[in-house]
C-alpha cells in the first residue's frame, strides 16, 4: 500500500461566521490526479470517513480528498448554517468551499442531509464538478426531471437495499440524471458505506477510474 498523508485544517466561508473544520488526505508524493470533497449526514461528520478508511482509500487511489464538517455539525458546530437544516442552501456555499480549498473540478460525495448543499451546487455550477456521488441524499424532490436532465456530469448513485425510504425516493428522482450508473448495496441501510465499507470503496474507486 502506498503511503498517504492525512492532515486537519479549517476553511473560512463568509456565510458561516466561523470556520469549517476539515480532514484532508493525499498521496504522500503530493501529486493527486483529482480532488474529492466528502460531505456527511446529520448524525455524522468527517470523522466517519476517517474511521472507515475512505480518506485513506482515496489517497491511495491517487486523489486528494477533503472531508468537511458541515455547519453546526461535527467540529464545525460554531459555524452558522446558511439555511435551516433540510432546506436548500445557496449554491454559493459549496462554490466558496471548493474555491477556498482549490478543489475544482471536484468530485462531490454527498450522503443524506448533505443533499441540501450538493444539489443546488450541482444544478448551478456543473462546470466546477468532475463527478457526483449521491448516497440517498435529501432534497432530491425539490428539482424537476427537466432540471436533472440538463446535467451532463458523470454520476454514481449509491444506496442500500434496506434503505426503503430515502434510498428509493432519491433514486426515483436522481435517475433523471442522464449520465448515471447505480450501485445498490446488499443488506445495507441508509448509511450504506458504514454497513459495508469494502463494497463502498470498491464501487467508488472503480467509478473514479472511469473519469
Sign of CA dihedral 104, 108, 113, 117: positive
| pTM passes above 0.95 | yes
Tell me what pLDDT residue 106 has. 98
Q: Which of 110, 163, 180, 203 is catalytic?
A: 163
Domain ranges for the chain: 4-208
Tell me what pLDDT residue 98 has. 97
Mean pLDDT by 10 residues, the chain (211 residues): 88 93 94 96 96 97 97 96 95 96 97 98 97 98 97 98 93 98 97 97 98 96
Tell me what pLDDT residue 2 has. 65
Tell me what pLDDT residue 197 has. 98
Tell me what pLDDT residue 1 has. 54
Largest CA distance in the chain: 44
Contact assessment for residue 68 and residue 103, using Cβ atoms and an 8 Å cutoff? no
Tell me what pLDDT residue 164 has. 86
Q: What is the DSSP string of 17-60?
A: SSPEEEEEEEETTS--SEEEEE---TT--HHHHHHTTHHHHHHH
Q: Which of 190, 196, 201, 203 is catalytic?
A: 190
Tell me what pLDDT residue 3 has. 85
Q: How many CB atoms lie within 10 A of CB 3?
A: 9
Tell me what pLDDT residue 165 has. 85
> Which residue in 98, 68, 64 sits closest to 81, CA to CA?
68
Is 163 labeled as catalytic in the residue annotation? yes
Q: Which of 35, 46, 76, 112 is catalytic?
A: 112
The three-state secondary structure class of 143 is coil
Helix axes 115-124, 92-100, angle to 10 degrees: 90
CATH topology for 4-208 is: Rossmann fold (3.40.50)
Amino acid at each position: 500500500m502506498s503511503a498517504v498523508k492525512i492532515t486537519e485544517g479549517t476553511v473560512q466561508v463568509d456565510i458561516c461566521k466561523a470556520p469549517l473544520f476539515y480532514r484532508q488526505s493525499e498521496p504522500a508524493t503530493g501529486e493527486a490526479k483529482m480532488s474529492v470533497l466528502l460531505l456527511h449526514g446529520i448524525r455524522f461528520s468527517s470523522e466517519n470517513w476517517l474511521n472507515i478508511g475512505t480518506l485513506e482509500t482515496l489517497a491511495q487511489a491517487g486523489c486528494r480528498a477533503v472531508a468537511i464538517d458541515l455547519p453546526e455539525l461535527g467540529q464545525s458546530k460554531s459555524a452558522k448554517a446558511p439555511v435551516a437544516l433540510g432546506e436548500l442552501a445557496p449554491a454559493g456555499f459549496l462554490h466558496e468551499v471548493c474555491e477556498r480549498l482549490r478543489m475544482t473540478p471536484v468530485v462531490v460525495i454527498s450522503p443524506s442531509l448533505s443533499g441540501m448543499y450538493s444539489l443546488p451546487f450541482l444544478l448551478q455550477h456543473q462546470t466546477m464538478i468532475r463527478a457526483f456521488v449521491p448516497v440517498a441524499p435529501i432534497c432530491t424532490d425539490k428539482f424537476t426531471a427537466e432540471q436533472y436532465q440538463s446535467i451532463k456530469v458523470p454520476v454514481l448513485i449509491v444506496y442500500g437495499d434496506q434503505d426503503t425510504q430515502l434510498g428509493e425516493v432519491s433514486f426515483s428522482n436522481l435517475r433523471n440524471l442522464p449520465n448515471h450508473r447505480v450501485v445498490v448495496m446488499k443488506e445495507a441501510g441508509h448509511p450504506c458505506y458504514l454497513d459495508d465499507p469494502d463494497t463502498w470503496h470498491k464501487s467508488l474507486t472503480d467509478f473514479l477510474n472511469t473519469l
